[in-house]
Chains A and B, each alone.
Chain A
Amino acid sequence: MLETLHNLAVGFSVALSPPVLLYAFVGCVIGTLVGVLPGVGPLAGISLLLPATFGMDATRAIVMLAGIYYGAMYGGSTTSILMRIPGEAASVMTCIDGYAMARKGRAGAALAIAAVGSYVAGSVSVIGLMLLAPPLAAFALRFGPPEYFALLLFGLLVLAYMSSGSMLKSLAMAALGLLLGMVGIDQMSGYFRFAYGIVELGDGLGVVPVAVGLFGVAEILATAGQPVPPKVIEPRLRELLPSRTEWRQSVGPIGRGTVLGFLVGIIPGSAHIISSFVSYALEKKLSKHPEEFGHGAVAGVAGPESANNSATSGAFVPMLALGVPSGPIPAVMLAAMMVHGVSPGPLLIRQQPELFWGFIASMYVGNVVLLILNLPLVGIFVNLLRVPYPYLYPAILTFSILGVYAVNGSVVDVWIMLVMGVLGYVLRKLDFETAPIVLGVVLAPMIELALR
């Protein structure tokens, strides 16, 4: 325990240094924007901003990208509560009771409960991450290729099982993702596979063009040309303070959402999305007045919002300790860390303690920054939604092209993004989940190496 506290103190000395603090702040602001803007989820946000971190050192880059991830969880609640539009998928459940509260004139209270619940869950779950990751990493040092193969396969299977749609379809998508991950030079024999003479495909399909295509471009293709979004309910600052009853009603759900979110986060799958759904169902089940759900129940906002924030920390546990991403967002984070020469896994904590503990400490700092950002500055973020979509989507599309091109300076990546965009658009129409494809692309080389 003393050693953990000492390490945490080292981490805070890194996290509170002005440059790291600045990048944590920038990450949180961008993450909030990503969460607020419908159609730009944390996955696309992290992928797009990855090239912007190339000039930074590894700690600053990872702190900023993590800030985008949990910032998006905070920001996603704003549009859910004020417009009934989930800024990102994890906020879908908040739409139901958050918007109902807003229509009753309790928009400010709903936003405050969401922000405080997110803050508590975010801070408490980091303790879980801090205590669980180092012993898990020490245990994983005993793993050989067979254990890793089983672990990676287990991750994919659980992701398919936990997906919201048909399990059969999700498994097919995981197989498709793994097949896409086979493109390029075979690491063991040097054979070119499915590259058709395109030299740039030798390194395989990059996770960034695949993720941006499947999530960012596909979303734009599907939503452009639709009617303007509904009216925004604007909260007044003096309404931000919840009543004593509302506080009392939110304490239990925040606590339960924190624990539940962290546990679901560790399990492979789209943890932040699943955790909010499970939390909502749990709160409804436990409530003495389940009939209030759907009509502005405080627990329907506090539980899911706490759970999706807590899940982000939980998702970092297998990624940092085992080097195994538990979902598409940790997969992109893993790729980002590798770009910066950091190999997440059992040796990370031992070999780069400053980075690991600095990252943990920056999450505490980031949660405070987000609490400050999300309450008084909510009006500013809401104004973003006034940018007409016909101006917004070309800008997002341009950022996608820029972000994907800048990773390798290759036009081939832009083509891959475009093809994946069309594939994602078609798969959406056919009611297929695309998250297993991204995870498959990332895990394919690891699984194959462990098998052989």
Chain B
Amino acid sequence: MLSVDRVAGAALAVVALFVLWESRTLPLGSLANPGPAYMPVVLALLLLVGGIAIAAVGGQTPPFSSLAFPEWRHALAIFLACAFAALALERLGYRLTVTLVLLFLLGVVERKRPVATIVFAAAFASGTYFLFDTLLRVPLPRGPFGI
């Protein structure tokens, strides 16, 4: 049976194998004189053993198909909003990016009233910019026209 722990253990083992594969280009060294690949290889082997052990003893955990993701729409929207923020932050500036992210999350995802959404987004973006950039002197990126 494809249980939760079997899938998780297999995934960890795959990560470990990937690290082992990627470490082949680095000098391994020896126990007396460990090279840059030494620790990653040791840790990857430990992870590989751990992954296999989790998969081996995890047969009694619930089936993987029973995992529920009822919040997946919200989670996907939040992920996309964050990804947009990462792409836009240095191009559009902090205030514009945060305003757009909040307009999307409140207006589109949460379907709040337009006026409340616009006021909240603009006030939050400007307020946090003033607090961090102006008062606390944490430099935040500016966009076109110094916004």
Residues of A within 8 A of B (CB): 51-52, 54-55, 166, 168-169, 171-172, 175-176, 178-179, 182, 186, 188-189, 191, 193-194, 217, 220-226, 390-391, 393-395, 397-399, 401-402, 405-406, 409, 411, 414-415, 417-418, 421-422, 425, 429-432, 444, 447-448, 451-452
Contacts and interface: CB of A to CB of B under 8 A. Distances in A.
B79 A399 contact: no
B96 interface: no
A179 B20 CA distance: 11
30 contacts: A54-B138, A179-B15, A179-B44, A179-B47, A189-B36, A193-B26, A194-B19, A220-B78, A221-B75, A222-B71, A222-B75, A223-B71, A224-B75, A225-B70, A390-B106, A393-B78, A393-B105, A394-B102, A397-B101, A397-B105, A401-B98, A401-B101, A402-B140, A406-B139, A406-B140, A409-B139, A411-B86, A430-B7, A432-B8, A451-B38
Given A189-B27, A409-B139, A429-B69, A397 B78 contact: yes
B118 interface: no
Going nearest first, the 10 A-B pairs with the smallest beta carbon separation are A225-B74, A172-B50, A390-B110, A186-B36, A224-B74, A191-B36, A394-B105, A414-B86, A221-B75, A225-B71
B83 interface: yes
Contacts, number: 162
Contact of A191 (B26, B47, B69, B71): B26
A406 B40 contact: no
Given A175-B43, A179-B43, A394-B106, A405 B89 contact: yes
Which DSSP category, helix, strand, loop or mixed, fits chain A's interface? helix
A397 B81 contact: yes
B71 A394 contact: no
A55 B71 contact: no
Nearest to A213: B82
Range of interface residues on B (Cβ < 8 Å): 35 or more
Contact of A406 (B8, B57, B132): B132
Nearest to A413: B86
B124 A395 contact: yes
B114 to A, nearest CB: 14
Contacts of B12: 172, 176
A55 B50 contact: no
Most buried by B among A172, A402, A422: A172
A444 B42 CA distance: 12
A451 B32 CA distance: 10
B82 A52 contact: no
B59 interface: no
Nearest to A412: B86
A448 B71 contact: no
Contacts of B36: 186, 188-189, 191, 193
B139 to A, nearest CB: 7
Given A193-B40, A391-B106, 10 more contacts: A182-B43, A221-B74, A221-B75, A401-B82, A402-B128, A409-B139, A418-B79, A429-B69, A430-B7, A430-B67
A405 B97 CA distance: 13
Contacts of B120: 391
Interface in B48-84: 50-51, 53-54, 57, 61, 67, 69-71, 73-75, 78-79, 81-83
Nearest to B8: A430
Nearest to A415: B86
Contacts of B89: 401, 405, 411, 414
